[in-house]
Structure 1
Amino acid sequence: MSKRCAIIFGANGISGIAMTKVLLESDEWSPIICVSRRPPQLEETSANSRIQFVSIDMVKSSADELASKISAAGGAVAQHAYFYTYLEKQDPKEHIEINKMLLEKALHAVSLVSPKLKSFMLQTGYKHYGNHLGGDKMVHDYPWKEDAPRVFKDNFYFHQEDLLYEYAVNKNWRWLVTRPNVILGVSKGNYMNFGVSIALYAALQKSLGREFIFPGNEVEYNAIFDHSSADNNCRFQEYLSLNDKIPSGAFNICNNDKPKFSELWPKIANYFGLKLPEPLFRDEKAKHPEPNSVYCQLPLTEYAEKEKKAWYNIAEKNGLDTNAYDYATWQFVDAVAGRTWPDEASMEKAAKYGWTRKVDTIQEYYKLFDELKKMKVIPK
């Protein structure tokens, strides 16, 4: 039986590493072409002959240079491509332009060197529905479905989807877009992750002998908030790409256990041996925030800055990697915990095509915390 060949763009990020692990589980995938600026971070990839690493800075390099390197790695036999490359920019216009440019380079390179390509998968997210904005810039029909109208314009996901569609139609590829919500996972040296920030906060509160205060408000605490574990996302993405009968299009992907922080938070507290405050919400604004507003009773952005010295002392005492604290997504945690609306998308479309897998979100948190201990990001 002939082998399958995949190209993974952004192979050293949380999602790229998860996909590399998933593909390595089957001997049918070879070669697996991992495209990233940094060398492979997974121990299992460094000496694996099935991994072909392409080291390139996609911002500074041209599409032709990218194509040349992919070709040298065996890209001529690639059948499936998975795109996770992403850059954060504060300026909205620059954010759109640079992420569209990165995708365009990947699409152009693959179109030049991979004549056997069957599918190209782009990972976007729930921001497609405006969940990061709320108010009149958010889709209000729950649960969010893939065919929901685009309610605002300045979203780089829209530009990427349209670009992928144009290439795919022209090249006769299947185009696949998957939309996860908050992704649970970790990669060495990449700590910009919701779960990592929660772990650092919990570990610090434990070391300081404090209670595990929920940063946000009571409305969000009791709302459904979909999580999307990196491993589950990638298994779904592999499933989509290998099933030729599944048509091109966009698909939501989440753990599908519909968790609430009111269910997760006490269990995270138990993991770290922390107590919850009583009552959980003490000020009136935390109990009854304005609809469509963002309010945190304990903004972690401010908290992290205030307690930085304390964390450095804990890190030095336990031999921890201080970079994790410096690069944690404190602002993102505030944006999530401080919301006053659910993050809930429909999985009906995925189920229609045979995907009915459910994942226990709290167990994914536990796995993440265990891994962070091994990586010396938090104390054991």
Structure 2
Amino acid sequence: MENQHYVALIVGVTGMVGFNIAQALKKPDCKGGPWKVYGAARRPPPATWFPASIVDDFISFDAVDAVTTQASLSPIAHEVTHLFWVALHFQEDEEANIATNKAMLHNVLTTLKSSPSSRLTHVTLQTGTKHYMGPIFDPARSTQLLSHDPPFHEDMPRLPYPNFYYAQEDLLASHAPSLTYSVHRSSIIIGASSRSAINTLVMLGAYAAVCRHLRLPFRYPGTRYTWDHFCDMTDSEVLAQQHVWAAVTDKAKNQAFNCTNDDLFTWKRMWKLLSEVFDVEFVGFDENDEDRVDLVEFMRDKDEIWDEIVEKYGLVKTKLKEFAYFEALKVVLHFDFQHVSSMNKSKEYGFFGHANTFKRVTFWVHKLRFMKIIP
């Protein structure tokens, strides 16, 4: 296949990673380029921060609906050579996650491959470290899980729990050898979007803004263990670079790769930085603090406060429920193990992307402010 004929479909293009994949593919020096890029999401892109020029065409459809998916993607099914899958749909429990997220991927794959002249050759699949921990966000299971010991590495066996990541990987494997795939297991993703289901910096920014608005202290809503012990993050630009690298690198085909910034942090140090960039007073962790904050409970009734903040600072019109899954952040801040993944395999295969987590947190917070997503 000639390089200039590469055509990408990014499902989830308005999210943190999808947006950066589109930007990466449109760079003049992008490997395999110049690319034609189709972007897709459930809702039309926000005109406030999503430039129309970042994709050649935008397609709005709900991948859960097979009929809608077929109607929306059939016109381009003969063109697409690479599918970048960075979409997800959170449900109440893991069985529902499996049913919904597997169906979404199945519907898109079925449509793209149904064209008699289908050119689809590779799919990149976005997953995460839940692969090594089990369904940590499922309330019925999360307290009984046995996870792998960190640092997590890609040849660790699957855990004996339902996991929609496993179902999606199996679905892609079932299409071999007619297409190849790569799996990208991220840590806590940082980036800028008002459309990501879980955006840690936006959630923490909203929490800080509410604290500042109500003149309350910006208390750490986690445990002593996570305050003191190591964790890692994944910059959305690094993750996008890995997706693109794997899509055009023969050695990376049918492989899974962790993706982190390849450095570590403690929440103790991170909280000092966040206090500075969010312009709130730093409050250290106090084991004996009687006012220890439960993030989920604290933010549960803050919808109207957030609306006031959005109005006061002229922010993008968002609702807390659109980007703030505080239950997930609470789980992360209550881990009783060090959330760390190995990047050895990625480097051994030739991907050397990395980032300075502290510098990138500052960068993305400034970006979120510029985009009018947080104050």
TM-score, length of structure 2 as denominator length: 0.87
What corresponds to 1:339 in structure 2? 335
- Find out whether 1:145 has 2:153 as its counterpart: yes
* Residue 47 (structure 1) shift: 4.5
Question: 1:290: which partner in 2?
Answer: none
2: CA distance between counterparts of 1:131 and 1:90? Answer: 15
Q: Is the 8 A contact 1:36 1:55 kept in 2?
A: yes
CA distance in 1, matches of 2:42, 2:144: 38
SS of 2:176's partner is helix
Match of 2:13 in 1: 11
Q: Which residue of 1 aligns with 2:109?
A: 107
Rate the CA distance shift 1:40–1:326 in 2: closer, same or farther, 3 A.
closer
Indicate the SS of the match to 1:212: coil
User: Which amino acid in structure 1 is aligned with residue 26 of structure 2?
Assistant: L
Which residue is equivalent to 2:139?
none
Contact 1:5 1:78 in 2 (8 A): yes
CA distances 1:47-96 after superposition (whole Å, capped 9, x unpaired)? 56x6122232222233xx635543423x4243221112211110332221
Residue 349 of structure 1 and its aligned partner are, at CA, apart by: 0.6
Letter in 1 for 2:296: T
Which of the residues 199, 203, 208 maps onto 1:202? 208
Q: CA deviation at 1:367?
A: 2.4
In structure 2, which of residues 81, 84, 89 is the aligned counterpart of residue 82 of structure 1? 84
**1:355 CA displacement:** 1.7
**Aligned CA-pair RMSD:** 2.6
Is 1:187 aligned to residue 193 of structure 2? yes
- 1:373 has 2:366 as partner: no
**Conserved in 2, the CA contact under 8 Å of 1:206 and 1:272?**
no
Alpha carbons of 1:105 and 1:29: their partners in 2 closer, same or farther (altered >3 Å)? farther
Which whole-Å CA distance do the structure 1 matches of 2:71 and 2:301 have between them? 48
Give per-residue Cα distances to partners, 1:17-52, cap 9 Å, x unaligned: 22111111137233212222322346665256x612
Closer/same/farther in 2, CA of residues 33 and 143 from structure 1, 3 Å limit = same
Partner of 2:293: 298
Aligned length: 362
Distance 1:47 1:142, change over 3 A: closer
Using the TM superposition, name which of 87-96 and 187-196 deviates more.
Answer: 187-196
In structure 2, do the counterparts of structure 1 residues 361 and 340 end up closer, same or farther at CA, with 3 Å as the change threshold? Answer: same
Work out the CA distance in 1 between the residues paired with 2:134 and 2:266: 16
CA contact (8 A) 1:300 1:330 kept: yes
Matching residue within 38, 43, 50 for 1:38 = 43
1:190: Cα distance to partner?
4.4
1:221 aligned to which of 217, 227, 231: 227
TM-score normalised by L of structure 1: 0.86
| Structure 1 residue 337: Cα displacement | 1.1
Structure 1: runs of 5 or more not aligned: 287-295
Cα gap change, 1:340 to 1:96, in 2 (>3 Å) = same
Q: Residue 53 of structure 1 corresponds to which residue in structure 2?
A: 58
